[in-house]
Amino acid sequence: MRGFGAFLGKELREITHTWRIWGLPGFVLFLALTGPVLALLTPELLKSMSGTAGMSGVVIQVPDPIWRDAYLQWTKNLTQMITWVLIVMLGAMVSGERKSGTAILVLTKPISRPAFVLAKFVSNAGLVVVSIVLGALGTWVVTFAAFGEAPVRILAEITGVWLGFAIMIVAVMSLMSALVDSQLGAAFLGVGVLIALTIASMWGPALEYSPAGLLNAPNTLLMGQQTSTLWPLVTGALAAVVCVFGAVWAFSRKEL
Amino acid sequence: MSVPAIELTGLSKHYGSFRALDNVDLSVPEGSVFGFLGPNGAGKTTTLRILTGLARASSGEARVFGTSVADVGNDVRSRIGFLPDVPGFYDWMTAEEFLRFAGSLFGLSAPVLHERAGALLDLAGLTDVHAKIGGFSRGMKQRLGVAQALINAPSLLMLDEPTSALDPIGRKEVLDMIASLSGRTTVFFSTHILSDVERVCDTVAILDRGRVVAQAPIDDLKSRYGAQKIVVDVARNVSGLERRLAAEPWVSAVERENHTLTLTISDIEAARSAIPAAVVAEDTGLIRLEGGEVSLEDVFVELVGGER
């Protein structure tokens, strides 16, 4: 693992010195801050539509929004938009430096290829964790301001469970981008994995024991339904380890 | 006898049926500035990629200071500096940041790193440049490329076409940098620009279609392979002399400039007796008759140019 620390340092400086510091964190924070506001305003918007042309006589009854609606926006953003953004963004995670030629300058120095791949995984997983924690914090603040109530524990649970899923996605994308040079191609494979997990989540045993169970877990937890996330988290972590090892193996075999 | 800096034994690299390298044997003496010369596509970059661990040989062996690059890659890479033909930098870094990053990959301590980064920025003429690398010219990037390859004070510096895309000023700057390293480290320098090799290298290998066709000190190579040249300067009737000599079987080419003929010949003994006789026969009056200088270009063309 020679060179891991030095290269991880470069990766972290790259995040803070380039657009990446604004990209994912900015997007997540935007969704996190606007979600509760949207939850607050949606019923009013729907009610106001009842008086518009073509809707006369139609009475729309919507219950008053509560903190749960704001958190629902947050889980919806996590499981849908942010997951897709992660897959596309991380499509060039390993291959990007190969295509730009920077990997050649780096890997002709005494840094091992496993260290190169692991530093990429750790830095990107770190960026995801920080972005999501900031987003959760933002959602909590705005939810509390808008609704006067914002339970911390349930927000921490749904965010934590989804982070487990997100880290697995980072690992999956490290493998895909080590296998495929094209960012679009790697993203396409990542979407394939997501679709496979979505299909698997319709099957009971897969929902209970595989990482597919993490897809719906945030919503299930938020709705107060009985669910165990232990096995999905364990198998998700195992899948992440396998993917990272696969990425190391694939990248170590590549000629640059 | 010291261990060669680079030793290639039966090195081959195949891409399907295409042989990029075909049973290459090569020995680069320690301390030399070695020119690795060949036309585009000859296999120079492939050789360097194998030596730096970026690619694997199909067969044969590549050794750096006696150690196989396939067995202990990181240990070998600790002793080398490498500049690829088109170096890719992190555009968001400054030159100093990149040198510090490169040094950190070698595990250099902070004081050593500080000292070397300063000295190398000075060598590359980038001391007062505080702009991001993204705004650098091609020449500045190439000079930084040479500097980063020297950050570990390498025993062997490998440069892949370091001047090929530079303007004359950029080329001169990079060649001056390479020339300044003579005697301090072994330099293995791939190029297709003959004048660059003649300017900075003491030994040369010529690679053609994946095979080494010659390897020797430049002067030996010129005398061994270069067709002989003779310059004849006459007072009059140069056209008659040109016609007579061009018809001789041992003359392969005649170049004329005013009253001077430069003959490329294949048989020096025949030329020695026949040229004075031809001068007398054509009554040209002899002003000068001397051996011409053989350039590396002549050797190169003779070795690799004949079938093209």
Residue A42 tokens, joined:
């949606």
B6: phi then psi, degrees, rounded to nearest 5: -130, 135
Predicted confidence at residue B300, as pLDDT, reads: 78
The total number of structural domains in chain A stands at: 1
Per-residue pLDDT at A69 exceeds 70: yes
Residue A53 counted as domain residue: no
Residue A56 counted as domain residue: no
Distance, in Å, from the CA atom of A171 to the CA atom of B68, rounded to the nearest integer, reads 33
Predicted confidence at residue B290, as pLDDT, reads: 82
Is B56 in contact with A110 (Cβ distance < 8 A)? no
Residue A55 counted as domain residue: no
Predicted confidence at residue A226, as pLDDT, reads: 75
Sort out which chain B residues have CB atoms less than 8 A from A111's CB and list them.
74, 105
Residue A54 counted as domain residue: no
Which B positions 41-100 lie with beta carbon below 8 A of chain A?
Answer: 49, 52-56, 74-75, 77-78, 80, 82, 84, 86-90, 92-93
If you average pLDDT over residues A127-152, what whole number do you get?
96
What's the maximum distance between 2 C-alpha atoms anywhere in chain A?
A: 75
B58: phi then psi, degrees, rounded to nearest 5: -75, -35
Predicted confidence at residue B1, as pLDDT, reads: 60
pLDDT range class, residue A53, cuts 50, 70, 90: low
Q: Measuring CA to CA, which residue among A90, A121, A120, A91 is closest to residue A241? A: A121
Distance, in Å, from the CA atom of A130 to the CA atom of A127, rounded to the nearest integer, reads 5
- How many CB pairs (< 8 A) connect A and B? 70
Is B89 in contact with A105 (Cβ distance < 8 A)? yes
Which A positions 1-20 lie with beta carbon below 8 A of chain B?
Answer: 2-3, 6-7, 9-10, 14, 17-18
Sort out which chain B residues have CB atoms less than 8 A from A255's CB and list them.
49, 54-56
8-state DSSP, A90: G
Is this prediction's ipTM beyond 0.90?
no
Per-residue pLDDT at A56 exceeds 70: no
**Beta partners for B229?**
B264
Q: Which of A80-89, A145-154, A185-194, B184-193 bottoms out in mean pLDDT, i.e. has the lowest?
A: B184-193
Predicted confidence at residue A138, as pLDDT, reads: 97
Q: Closest residue of B to A20, CA-based?
A: B92
Tally of helices (H runs) and strands (E runs) in chain A: 12, 0
Neighbouring C-beta atoms of residue B65, cutoff 10 Å: 18
Sort out which chain A residues have CB atoms less than 8 A from B113's CB and list them.
none
Is A110 in contact with B92 (Cβ distance < 8 A)? no
Distance, in Å, from the CA atom of A13 to the CA atom of A17, rounded to the nearest integer, reads 6
Region of A224 (left: φ > 0; alpha: ψ -120 to 50; beta: rest) is: left
Q: How far is B208 from chain A (nearest CA, A)?
A: 23
Residue A189 counted as domain residue: yes
Residue A134 counted as domain residue: yes
Per-residue pLDDT at A79 exceeds 70: yes
Q: Closest residue of B to A1, CA-based?
A: B74
A125: phi then psi, degrees, rounded to nearest 5: -65, -40
Sort out which chain A residues have CB atoms less than 8 A from B77's CB and list them.
108-110
Residues lower than pLDDT 70 in chain B: 1, 72-73, 223-227, 292-294, 305-308
Beta strands in chain B (DSSP E): 6-15, 18-28, 33-37, 59-64, 67-68, 80-83, 156-160, 186-191, 203-208, 211-217, 228-234, 251-257, 260-265, 286-291
| Dihedral sign for Cα atoms in the order B159, B165, B171, B173 | negative
Residue A59 counted as domain residue: no
Distance, in Å, from the CA atom of B28 to the CA atom of B188, rounded to the nearest integer, reads 8
If you average pLDDT over residues A29-44, what whole number do you get?
92
Distance, in Å, from the CA atom of A14 to the CA atom of A153, rounded to the nearest integer, reads 34
Predicted confidence at residue B193, as pLDDT, reads: 84
B183 versus A237: the higher-pLDDT residue is: A237
Predicted confidence at residue B136, as pLDDT, reads: 94
Distance, in Å, from the CA atom of B255 to the CA atom of B87, rounded to the nearest integer, reads 42
The whole-model pTM stands at: 0.84
Q: Give the one of A14, A103, A110 whose C-beta lies nearest to B105's C-beta.
A: A110
Q: Measuring CA to CA, which residue among A168, A191, A166 is closest to residue A243? A: A168
Residue A22 counted as domain residue: yes
Is A109 in contact with B105 (Cβ distance < 8 A)? yes
Is B77 in contact with A109 (Cβ distance < 8 A)? yes
Q: What is the pLDDT of residues A182-223, one digit of tens each?
A: 999 999 999 999 999 999 999 989 888 999 999 889 989 998
Is B74 in contact with A104 (Cβ distance < 8 A)? no
Q: Are strands B6-15 and B18-28 parallel, antiparallel or unpaired?
A: antiparallel
Beta strands in chain A (DSSP E): none
**Beta partners for B13?**
B21
Which A positions 99-118 lie with beta carbon below 8 A of chain B?
Answer: 100-112
Q: Which amino acid is at B39?
A: P
Q: How far is A250 from chain B (nearest CA, A)?
A: 14
Predicted confidence at residue A48, as pLDDT, reads: 76
Q: Closest residue of B to A100, CA-based?
A: B88
Q: How far is B173 from chain A (nearest CA, A)?
A: 21
Predicted confidence at residue B227, as pLDDT, reads: 61
Sort out which chain A residues have CB atoms less than 8 A from B145's CB and list them.
105
**Domain around A202:** 4-39+66-252
Predicted confidence at residue B173, as pLDDT, reads: 81
